[in-house]
Amino acid sequence: MEHGINEETKAHGDNVFVLVEEYYPKEGRSKDVLEIATESAKSIFGFDGLLMAKTLTPKKVDGAICNITTWESEEYFNSFMKSDALKELVKSPMMATVKEATSDIKVNMYQLALGWHQS
């Protein structure tokens, strides 16, 4: 079997959109921020166009806790951004707490350049 990735390997679609949220917990607040990040990721389960949601914990003590969501397209993501579900999430006590518990939050948006997975 030949090893390598080529254009045909791009099996996830040409318009896949990825959002990466980085939450930098204040000292002693990592557990709180992780709980909020995981609950936030769980709360969008089943939304149209959402392919995957992941919450990552840092290997370094001062690293960011990340939520990564993968969408079928930026249009699906934009639809989610206009949804009542997001409005409720933003107004929730959980989001007020995340602002208190973090020193910084960074959000980055990406288009898929290449996507594959192994079974």
pLDDT tens digits, residue range 82-96? 999 889 888 889 888
What percentage of the chain has pLDDT greater than the value 70?
A: 88
Per the document, the length of the chain is 119
What was the pLDDT predicted at 31?
94
Q: How high is the mean pLDDT of the chain?
A: 88
* pTM of the predicted model as reported, rounded to 2 decimal places: 0.85
Q: Encoding tokens for residue 44?
A: 């969008």
| pLDDT tens sequence across 29-72 | 999 999 999 999 999 999 999 999 999 999 988 899 999 999 99
Report which secondary-structure segment, H or E, holds 54: strand 50-56
How deeply is 6 buried, as exposed, middle or buried, from its count of CB atoms within 10 A (0-12, 13-18, 19+)? exposed
Assign 2 a pLDDT band (cuts: 50, 70, 90).
low
